[in-house]
Copies of this chain bind each other. A is one copy, B any other.
Amino acid sequence: MPEPIGRTDVEAQVVIAVDVGGTGIKCALVTPDHQVVHSERHTTGAERGADAVVETILSVVEGLAAKAVADDLVPVAVGICIPGVVDEAEGVIRYAANTGGMRNVPLRDLATARVGLPVRVGHDVRTGGLAEATLGAGAGYDQVLFIPIGTGIAAAHIVGGKVLAGGHWGAGEIGHIIVRPGGPVCGCGQRGCLEAIASASAVGRRYSERVGVTASAREVASQAAAGDPVAAEVWAETVDALADALLTAQALYDPSQVIIGGGLAEAGEQLLTPLRQALRDRIAFFTEPEIVRARLGDEAGCLGAALLALTVAEFDHPTDPAVLTPLEAEL
């Protein structure tokens, strides 16, 4: 069979990108210029335990490699992101509660052994933040703070295209700074964490406690917009808690841009407009960041995993170095 017109070996190369979550695994084949040429979703099955989830991840990677070959593509590297404490230097999942209770899983080496390709693993929020900062809402910004607000809240701090991971792979835990001393108990054991007040699940829970019926954060937002005073109160408290946390983040990180993602960001300007004002009201002598909504939605993790893979890919032919430059630096 002749080569398709215009196809070169370089164009035929792809990376395997895998975003492992607590309930689902999003994965894709992605070209060096960030085009998704194939995507799949799988169930994590965390209830089966860590060993089974690891085997599922490895099977997914193997399946994607086979799919690439079947499509006349050349898989050159693998990127995998996962929630938990991820030792990105060693490629080891130190602890991941939501994916079956993994402890010290050498995922990088296991995946390399399975498919014979270079592999890089990353923390889910930092990996998604890398994608948002370089390919999404943060493109063109040098100092970005990406904050997905969903079941939990965390942040990725990206400076000059590099994600800062901290000395123990623990940076960016903005969900667990205490904004209401003595406030609601958080899953982490502290009281008054941002996450215990302003995560999507906490917003739903706080409203439910006051009206006696179960509600999601999305429903609270709708009710608040429709004039429900209790929902409006819960929403205002959420904005206040987020503004307090952003003020602390501004004092310590001083980002130029804050990108809000995750489920709560689906409220769009209903969240961002009062949040900008609440931060402005508190800003003291700090400089306000631009506060914008994430652009990549739930694709951020998978695209970020592709970016991780591209940093370790060995290409048969040199690609445009401009494509890789922002990613070459170690996380």
Q: Which residues of A are interface residues toward B (Cβ below 8 A)?
A: 141-143, 155, 157, 159, 164-174, 176-178, 181, 188-190, 244, 247-257, 282, 284-287, 289
User: Which of B159, B176, B286 interacts with A251 by CB under 8 Å?
Assistant: B176
Q: Nearest chain B CB to A96's CB is how many angstroms away? A: 13
Query: Do B167 and A284 touch (CB < 8 A)?
Result: no
Q: A253 contacts B254, CB within 8 Å?
A: no
A256 and B189 in contact, given A178-B247, A247-B178, A248-B177 (Cβ under 8 angstroms): no
* Contact indicator A164/B159 (Cβ below 8 Å): yes
- Residue pairs across A and B with Cβ atoms less than 8 A apart, 10 shown, are A164-B164, A165-B254, A166-B255, A168-B287, A170-B250, A170-B251, A171-B252, A171-B254, A176-B285, A189-B285
* CB-defined contacts of A188 to chain B, threshold 8 Å: 284-285
Q: Please, which residues of chain B bring their CB within 8 A of the CB of A287?
A: 167-168, 170
| Complex Cα–Cα for A249 and B171 (A) | 9
Asked if B167 contacts A255 (CB within 8 A), the reply is yes
Closest 7 CB pairs of A and B: A166-B254, A167-B256, A143-B167, A168-B287, A171-B254, A170-B254, A173-B251
Query: Do B254 and A252 touch across chains, with their CB atoms under 8 A apart?
Result: no
| Chain B nearest Cβ from A45, distance in angstroms | 25
- Chain B residues closer than 8 Å to A189, beta-carbon distance: 284-285
- CA gap between A285 and B155 in the complex, in Å: 16
**Chain B residue nearest to A181 in the complex (CB):** B181
- Highest count of chain B CB atoms <10 Å: which of A157, A166, A282, A289: A166
Chain B residue contacts of A171, Cβ below 8 A: 252-254
* Complex: A252 Cα to B172 Cα, angstroms: 4
Name the residue of chain B whose CB is nearest to the CB of A253: B171
Contact across chains for A190 and B284 when beta carbons are under 8 A apart: yes
